[in-house]
Amino acid sequence: MSDAEKYSMTTLLTTTGIRVGESVSVYGLESGSNYVRLEMEPAEGEVMISSAYADKFGLKRGDRLVFSEKYTGEEYDFTVAGVYDYMGGVAIFMPLNMFNRVFDRPADSYNGYLSNEELTDIPEKYIATTVTEEDITRVSRQLDHSMGGYMNYFKVACLIFAVILIYLLTKVIIERNENAISMVKILGYENGEIASLYLMSTTWVVLFSAVVGAFLGIKGLEVIWMQVMKDLDGWLPVYIGPMSYVGMIVLVFAAYLVILFIDYRRIKRIPMDEALKNVE
């Protein structure tokens, strides 16, 4: 048990911020912990907060935190000393000796061990629960398994929607310009030249809209997701990798290429006598 470190943990409730009554895990750690590497050790009355807590509540260094105990209603007041990069939960961290003083526990008190290996020298009757890496990652893996497949269907649905929308827009453009297209055919223009003339400007608009739409869509998702998470315990951030942005734009443009092929065939089918029929 040479690598094991003592720690204590309890739960408090928020009394201020975007959600009152949020459960916050409070950890008391040994100085210089090898498992939770804080960039600094908080002074008396100060705590480090997890990045998940900072993101959800919009907290920064120097902000005041007020918590209450769930059953007794006793309040605890702290100041944010810094942010620890931990997205696994809404939590605060403090030295173990300060934890014992704050919560009026014996100086040598603790209620758990942090260890990379299974502890075999503790009698089973003294172990209340064991939390492993498997337990911590189970939820995220379950979400990936259940929601990952759903997202693939969602991407297909979005692609179909994009095809339909762009198809209707380009169809209107061509139908309103049938007479002009027929006339330029009479003047000797090839189908490819006509398609380039009428569809090239649309191509730039679609590409610009795909780029701007992807950016605005993500920003809108962040705002909506923030509102959803306000009513829930914990925090799941919105993260869209660079390749996901590229993927969204490519999907829209791929849909547009399908429409270009359809529009080109429509232009080819417009007869040259269409313009003559409509001459008054």
CB 252 within 8 A of CB 206: yes
Q: What is the pLDDT of residue 242?
A: 82
Q: CA–CA separation, 70 vs 175, rounded Å?
A: 68
Side-chain-side CA neighbours of residue 237 (13 Å): 17
CATH topology for the 5-131 domain: Barwin-like endoglucanases (2.40.40)
Q: What is the pLDDT of residue 38?
A: 87
Q: What is the pLDDT along the chain (280 residues), one digit of tens a residue?
A: 567 899 999 999 999 888 899 999 999 999 888 889 888 888 899 999 999 999 999 999 999 999 999 888 899 999 999 999 998 889 999 999 999 999 999 988 998 898 888 887 888 877 878 887 777 777 777 777 776 667 777 777 877 887 888 888 878 877 777 777 777 777 777 777 777 777 777 778 888 888 888 888 888 888 888 888 888 888 888 877 788 888 888 888 888 888 888 877 877 777 766 555 655 5
One-letter amino acid at 27 equals Y
Each domain of the chain, given as residue ranges in start order, spans: 5-131, 139-277
Long-range contacts from 253-262, C-beta under 8 angstroms, 24+ separation: 253/206, 253/207, 253/210, 254/159, 255/159, 255/162, 255/163, 255/166, 256/162, 256/166, 256/203, 256/206, 258/163, 259/163, 259/166, 259/167, 259/170, 260/195, 260/199, 260/203, 262/167
One-letter amino acid at 254 equals A
- Residues in Cβ contact with 71 at an 8 Å cutoff, skipping those fewer than 6 apart: none
Q: Which residue has the tokens 């925090």?
A: 235
**First-to-last C-alpha distance (Å) of the chain:** 97
Q: What is the pLDDT of residue 59?
A: 93
> pTM for this one?
0.73
Residue ranges in 42-132 assigned as alpha helix (H): 51-57, 96-102
Residue 190: C-alpha distances to residues 101, 196, 264 (Å): 86, 10, 11
CB 68 within 8 A of CB 75: yes
